[in-house]
Structure 1
Amino acid sequence: MSQTHTVRLLPWSRPDGKPCYLSSDNSDGYLWQLADNMEAIQLSMATELIAHANEVLSAPKATHEEVRYLANRLVESLSDTLRVAKSRGERLQASAPDSKGDEEGEGGDGPSLPAEAFG
């Protein structure tokens, strides 16, 4: 059980479209786990939608309506996926040790690796 107080962007919005946040000291709590499950579902659905998009876009007789519907679902899925990425990025940044005063003076833009690490 984590004892770090965290504000987490949740994978759903308020009815007015504004983001929802969870402020919690407990990453094992019900809402935290619900958010984890919802993120997993959203990412799984995105994977399935990509496979479906490949099928529709490779079909020579796909109608304009089918492609338009697909595009709308892809936009929804991409929005969900970006929200998951933002939420996870914020949590990674919050849990990272303070990198001010690093040797290269990069100002704490996250972890850095030497060029050799990329092959």
Structure 2
Amino acid sequence: MTTPNELRLLPWPGPGDKPCYLSTDDPDGYMSRLADRVEAIQLGTASALLEEASEALDSQDTSPEEMRCLAKELTGALRDIFRVATSRGHLRATSDPSESAY
């Protein structure tokens, strides 16, 4: 069993939108690989939304309703990416403590 600072924050929320953690000694296990795939999808989605937002902001034809929808999607993507960044920061700190001071 891993210690609490070795828990991996998963890229999806648990019940009640609370953080969900994985405790494993196997970074190549099924759940670890699933979390890696979900993170990759979340990063890809955020990248596509960022491009869409840039285009929408440059266009005079973007309606307020389209902007509200895009803002809602960007908020969700930002939440996901923040969770990924937090998880990766924790993983980095536990794998090499000398690199955790940034």
TM-score normalised by L of structure 2: 0.89
Structure 1 residues 7-37: Cα deviation after superposition (integer angstroms, max 9, x where no partner): 1000001131001000001011000000000
Structure 1 residues 64-117: Cα deviation after superposition (integer angstroms, max 9, x where no partner): 1000011111111111001000000001111114x5xxxxxxxx8626xxxxxx
Whose helix proportion is higher, 1 or 2?
2
Amino acid at match of 1:110: A
Whose radius of gyration is greater, 1 or 2? 1
Where does structure 1 differ by over 6 angstroms across 4 or more consecutive aligned residues? none
The DSSP-based 3-state class of the residue aligned with 1:12 is coil
Whose strand proportion is higher, 1 or 2?
1
Amino acid at match of 1:78: L
| Structure having greater relative contact order (Cα 8 Å, sep ≥ 6) | 2
Distance of 1:110 and 1:16 partners within structure 2: 32
Number of paired residues? 99
Distance of 1:42 and 1:49 partners within structure 2: 10
Amino acid at match of 1:11: P
Identity %: 46
Structure 1: gaps of 5 or more residues: 100-107, 112-119
Distance of 1:7 and 1:14 partners within structure 2: 14
Structure 2: gaps of 5 or more residues: none
Tell me what 2:59 maps to.
59
The DSSP-based 3-state class of the residue aligned with 1:25 is coil
Q: How does 1:1-119 map to 2 (within 5 A)?
A: 5=2, 6-97=6-97, 99=98, 110=101
The DSSP-based 3-state class of the residue aligned with 2:17 is coil
Distance of 1:43 and 1:109 partners within structure 2: 22
Measured after TM superposition, the shift of residue 38 of structure 1 is: 0.3
TM-score normalised by L of structure 1: 0.77
Distance of 2:67 and 2:15 partners within structure 1: 28
Is contact 2:12–2:20 with CA below 8 Å preserved after alignment? Answer: yes
